[in-house]
Structure 1
Amino acid sequence: MQKAIKRLIDIVLSLIVIVVFLPIWIIVAILIKITSKGPIFFLQDRPGQHKKIFKVYKFRTMKPGSDKMVKGQEVMKDDDRVTSIGKFLRRTKIDEIPQTLNVLKGEMSLVGPRPERIASLEEYDDKISKRLNMKPGMTGLAQVSGNIYLGLQERYKFDIYYVEHFSIWLDVKIIFRTVGVVLFGEDRYVDKCLVNLNSSQRGASL
């Protein structure tokens, strides 16, 4: 029942975001085109639920061909591969908005483990593979728990906790916390986790 409610929330909120933010889509598209050569959108294959491959949509924030310059390299804060407008889009998370299309198509959810590169699957063990038991999300538990300050294994722990303790109420808390992260930055939420990973009890307040 909760999965059906989750899907309904995904559809309704995605449609609202697309309609409300349509002017921003247009403005961002124009800025991307006039500040750098290349397409407006960046599409990349990512593993979804049960390893099903899909193309994730994002506004392009990097120079054309940057994903091939240093294959698999993480994008750092002052990465010169990122365009001028791209830095703003990344900081405000606006580059992620097109993923509402993935949500409408049923490939992603608003909340869930963030989709990783296909190459990352080679490093998954049985425990980490649990993060693939649910659809990947536009935001997730790790992303509202000090994301940029977490190591990869720490993020996986948050993802696995989410999959094992999924509830609509947890989704609601993550969505509201995501708004806070966008408005006030990730620094504010370091060491203010919504859950206690060492306990089955769900923790902190928003």
Structure 2
Amino acid sequence: MQTIDDGSTIEITPEKPQLTTLRAAEFRPSAPRMDWRGRYARRLYLIDYVVGLVAASSALFLRFGPDAAQPFLLDYLLLTLLFPLAWIAVLAINRAYESRHLFVGTDEYARVVRSGLGLTATLAIFSFALDLRLARGYVIIALPMATLLDVGARYLYRQLLHRRWAAGERLHKVILVGHARAIADMARRLARESHHGLGIIGACVPPGAVDDELPGLPTVFGDFDNVAGAVSLSGADTVVVLSCPEIDGPALRRLAWQLERDEIDLIVASTLVDVAGDRTTIRPVDGLPMLHVEHPRLKGSSRLIKAAFDRVGAFVLLLLSMPVLLVLAALVAFGPGGRGPVIFRQERVGKDGRLFVLYKFRTMVVNAEARLQELRNLNDTDGELFKMRNDPRITPVGRWLRRLSLDELPQLLNVLKGDMSLVGPRPPLAREVAGYPADMRRRLAVKPGLTGLWQVSGRSDLSWDESIRLDLTYVENWSLAMDLAILARTVSAVVRSSGAY
């Protein structure tokens, strides 16, 4: 049982263990539109001001020192005081405070990075045009620091919101409109991920289409003609319309007119699967909104940047982790579990189906592969992947290495060689790929990764279909900002050790 901001409670029923619903006895007339989004944006202004002031003050201190007495220092003091305002202005120009770019996804962080680059270019142009002699050390310190600090601060602030969403607070109370099976499928999709802010409280289906035995179907309030009444009865603030032939253009327009009186959000769910928002553009043609879908970024200069980022990042991480690697190698070589090679080598399938040898610290007994067949019927996962929570082949040291994902560190060599990327789909075995249907082979269009969406979303706790869907989502919607976000989330996923076995 959980409580939403307006006092209503959320109950998760035993029959529908993952479905968020409200008790019918506690439905109330339509509540005022949630204003927490406005408060969230206003607090971002304060966060950005503090970040700008800290970055500018640090640049002043580091560039000129604590005892600087140059006559022009007053100019830099004034610049330090004005810098946070300029930082906020550039962020506002880049629409970094608009609700549609906040809360989920990487678009917010990308806009912060673009703001840092834009302010750098603006200062360079003005200093050249007006012959201003800005200290380059001041600019080089202030702008990158402001960008990095702001991305980190916004990320932490968003995590606080996601924690409240996961606890059932500040959720959008949603009415789903569509066919029963489509509604049940959408409810299951939303139940898999708590960081969306949508709490389903009911549904509207076609007349006579209610199926009480359909798993995952929320409380049905009525048919398509009674959506506004369902919103008023339940206190919903959002209506999500799923694709169905009964709701055509005129019907959707009439529904929008009914909902706008109470400022109820209307969301039309597209039938597109795993396509990120930055790949779609709406262009009106004779009053009809046309949704244009751009092709995934599988080639071009951005991929060259990713390749350079991977090689440099892997080289730096190898240098920094060298002492840890030596200690772990000694534990594997001389720890309990039998003598054997320190590095386990296994053939995996890489980009475009090319085979490569993957490196890991050995976490199992030497004859683990020979014993695999006798354990096949004890698989704890579905699909082609074999995983056991209590695999008897894993050594005591290996279990500890897997729990903290330290056995994966030698794969930095694979990244350095170019076989893998820092972020990407999970590297599959050849026997797994042999069982792929045609659409799953799409995940081989990019290099496999040391980490990825599969790792930060639950790893071995995920179903086979869900892990494949996450890999395809990454392939279709890759961006450098997504890679950075996944790398940041990997740290918390490793600390939690969820799904690591």
TM-score with structure 1 length normalisation? Answer: 0.87
The one-letter code of the counterpart of 2:361 is: F
The one-letter code of the counterpart of 1:154 is: E
Q: Which residue of 1 aligns with 2:329?
A: 29
Q: Which residue of 2 aligns with 1:144?
A: 456
Count of residue pairs the alignment pairs up: 187
Q: Which residue of 1 aligns with 2:20?
A: none
Cα distance in 2, alignment partners of residues 33 and 26 from structure 1: 11
Deviations 1:84-115 (A, max 9, x none): 10001001000000000000110000000011
Counterpart of 2:361 (choices 59, 82, 89) is 59
SS at match of 2:401: helix
Which residues of 2 match residues 56-95 of structure 1 at below 5 A? Answer: 56-71=358-373, 73=376, 74-95=386-407
SS at match of 1:142: helix
Q: Which residue of 2 aligns with 1:197?
A: none
Deviations 1:150-179 (A, max 9, x none): 111110001011101110011111110001
Residue 8 of structure 1, CA deviation: 1.3
Residue 134 of structure 1, CA deviation: 0.2
Cα distance in 1, alignment partners of residues 491 and 305 from structure 2: 21
SS at match of 1:63: coil
Residue 40 of structure 2 corresponds to residue 40 of structure 1: no
Alignment root-mean-square deviation, CA: 1.4
Counterpart of 1:115 (choices 413, 419, 427) is 427
Asked which structure has the greater RCO (Cα within 8 Å, sep 6+), the reply is 1
Cα distance in 1, alignment partners of residues 450 and 369 from structure 2: 20
Q: Which residue of 2 aligns with 1:179?
A: 491
TM-score with structure 2 length normalisation? Answer: 0.36
Contact 2:453 2:474 in 1 (8 A): yes
Residue 145 of structure 1, CA deviation: 1.1
Q: Which residue of 2 aligns with 1:169?
A: 481
Cα distance in 2, alignment partners of residues 8 and 168 from structure 1: 12
Q: Which residue of 2 aligns with 1:102?
A: 414
Contact 2:427 2:448 in 1 (8 A): yes
Following TM superposition, the consecutive aligned residue runs of length 4 or more in structure 1 with deviations greater than 4 angstroms are none
SS at match of 2:422: strand
Asked which structure has the greater CA Rg, the reply is 2
Cα distance in 2, alignment partners of residues 67 and 157 from structure 1: 28
Residue 467 of structure 2 corresponds to residue 155 of structure 1: yes
Q: Which residue of 2 aligns with 1:18?
A: 318
SS at match of 1:28: helix
Residue 4 of structure 1, CA deviation: 1.1
The one-letter code of the counterpart of 1:113 is: P
Cα distance in 1, alignment partners of residues 369 and 324 from structure 2: 25
Aligned-pair identity in percent equals 39
Deviations 1:177-202 (A, max 9, x none): 00111122337xxxxxxxxxxxxxxx
Cα distance in 2, alignment partners of residues 140 and 179 from structure 1: 12
Contact 2:387 2:460 in 1 (8 A): no
SS at match of 1:173: helix
